């Protein structure tokens, strides 16, 4: 409802195979939605439902190339009620001091209100110094109570700030500027596709070929499959 009220959303086309899949045996399912608006060239939302054992919500909001603002990344993951993980960030396209001061520093007073979400990621999958900010919201919990207590209010505050900030931006339609931002989006997608551990979960449920297509043709559609193949998507036995 918030997105519909505050953004002039339009559906973007997507293939049927990427929009919905269900495992006929396990009954696990994954569903995605894709939108654009005046400020955003692509807003993707993906929900994976594997019953009580695994629940995943992931979303990335990409500004249009006429803006150098960070994409918004959201990950909420539950491996049962005793392992709940959340990650939310305005993901800087560059780590320049002026850029961070403009886009990331305004998050400081918001983040400081949510001590439970001021954790740091491990370096097992991602490097915090690339496409992550110092105001990243990160929390890991052993029960679902913090979802309503901390996570939902923090998400609402970050999203509301982000949308308001984007609407106040002045687009720069200089071709050289837009080409540079497009390259940074491509770099962001390549990094994200190669680092995303969820790819292994997709492959386990729906096979190597679908998982690879889903990650590289849909989730991060500006990325290209590495020459040696995906780190997390291994072909099945011949």
For residue 139, the tally of other CB atoms under 10 A from its CB is: 20
> For 186-229, what is each residue's pLDDT tens digit?
999 999 998 888 888 898 889 989 999 999 999 999 999 988 76
Q: Does the structure show a pLDDT above 80 at 123?
A: no
Dist CA 45 CA 2 (whole Å) = 14
- pLDDT score of 160: 94
Q: What is the pLDDT of residues 2-16, one digit of tens each?
A: 898 999 999 999 999
Q: Do 198 and 46 meet the contact criterion of CB atoms below 8 Å apart?
A: no
How far apart are alpha carbons 111 and 55 in whole angstroms? 25
Q: Which residues pair with 31 in a beta bridge?
A: 20, 47
Mean pLDDT of the chain: 88
* The pLDDT of residue 238 is above 50: no
Percent of the chain scoring above 90 in pLDDT: 58
pLDDT over 90 (residue 23) = no
Buried-state track 16-42, b at ≥16 Cβ within 10 A, e below 16 = eebeebeeeeeebebebbbbbbebbbb
């Amino acid at each position: 409802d918030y997105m519909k009220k505050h953004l002039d959303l339009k559906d973007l086309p997507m293939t049927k195979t990427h929009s919905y899949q269900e495992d006929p045996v396990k009954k696990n399912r994954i569903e995605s939605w894709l939108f654009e608006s005046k400020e955003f060239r692509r807003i993707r939302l993906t929900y994976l439902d594997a019953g009580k054992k695994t629940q995943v919500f992931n979303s990335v909001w990409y500004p249009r190339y006429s803006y150098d603002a960070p994409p918004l990344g959201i990950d909420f993951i539950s491996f049962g009620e005793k392992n709940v993980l959340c990650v939310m960030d305005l993901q800087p396209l560059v780590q320049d001091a002026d850029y961070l001061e403009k886009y990331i520093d305004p998050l400081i007073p918001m983040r400081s209100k949510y001590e439970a979400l001021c954790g740091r990621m491990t370096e097992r999958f991602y490097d915090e110094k690339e496409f992550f900010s110092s105001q990243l919201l990160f929390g890991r919990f052993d029960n679902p109570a913090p979802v309503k207590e901390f996570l939902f209010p923090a998400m609402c505050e970050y999203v509301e700030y982000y949308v308001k900030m984007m609407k106040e931006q002045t687009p720069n339609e200089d071709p050289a500027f837009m080409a540079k931002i497009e390259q940074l989006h491509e770099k962001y997608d390549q990094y994200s596709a190669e680092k995303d551990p969820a790819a292994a979960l997709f492959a386990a449920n729906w096979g190597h070929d679908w998982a690879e297509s889903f990650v590289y043709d849909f989730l991060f559609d500006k990325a290209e499959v590495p020459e040696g193949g995906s780190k997390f998507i291994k072909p099945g036995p011949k």
